[in-house]
């Protein structure tokens, strides 16, 4: 434990003399401060106005991105359906059963099966169910996937 310090070495705050004038700032600093205050007052609410303009744009881009992801998912579903149906027909399964396999992932009427000699071609065309209101002026988006396989040798 250290010994207490003597009272003479402790500092106390110096009181201001009542007759001394308050420190003054130069005129150039006063003018600058006033201009800064005016500029700050004039910019009040600017962030709110900028957010009011930027927020709808950001939400629009977000919705457009989500819709684009939906298109990619639908395209993958079309590709999978075309491949699965073509494989089923190539194995010799009935067209009704092959269509039932394809209808698991795409809507009815989207599958077209053509057969030429030993080649089996399946085309799946789908139109997205929902379109964002911002893109209502565009023509409908059609997604198409095609799969071509050769029939197995022992199939009719």
Give the domain ranges of the chain: 41-149
pLDDT of residue 82: 95
Residue 38: what pLDDT? 63
The C-alpha atoms of residue 147 and residue 122 are separated, in whole angstroms, by: 5
* CA quadruple 94, 97, 101, 103: dihedral, nearest 10: 110
CA dihedral 93, 95, 96, 101 (to 10 degrees): 70
Q: What is the mean pLDDT of each run of 10 residues along the chain (156 residues)?
A: 60 60 57 62 74 89 88 93 94 91 87 89 89 75 92 74
What is the structure's pLDDT at 87? 94
pLDDT at 1: 60
**Residue 52 DSSP label:** H
């Amino acid at each position: 434990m250290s010994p207490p310090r003597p009272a003479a070495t402790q500092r106390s705050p110096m009181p201001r003399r009542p007759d001394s004038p308050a420190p003054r700032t130069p005129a150039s600093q006063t003018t600058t401060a006033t201009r800064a205050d005016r500029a700050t007052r004039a910019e009040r609410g600017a962030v709110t106005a900028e957010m009011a303009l930027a927020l709808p744009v950001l939400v629009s881009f977000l919705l457009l991105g989500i819709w684009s992801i939906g298109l990619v998912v639908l395209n993958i579903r079309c590709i999978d359906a075309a491949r699965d149906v073509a494989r089923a027909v190539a194995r010799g399964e009935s067209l009704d059963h092959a269509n039932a396999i394809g209808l698991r992932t795409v809507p009815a009427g989207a599958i077209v099966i053509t057969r030429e000699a030993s080649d089996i071609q399946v085309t799946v065309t789908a139109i997205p169910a929902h379109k964002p209101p911002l893109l209502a002026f565009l023509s409908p988006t059609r997604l198409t996937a095609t799969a071509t396989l050769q029939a197995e040798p022992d199939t009719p």
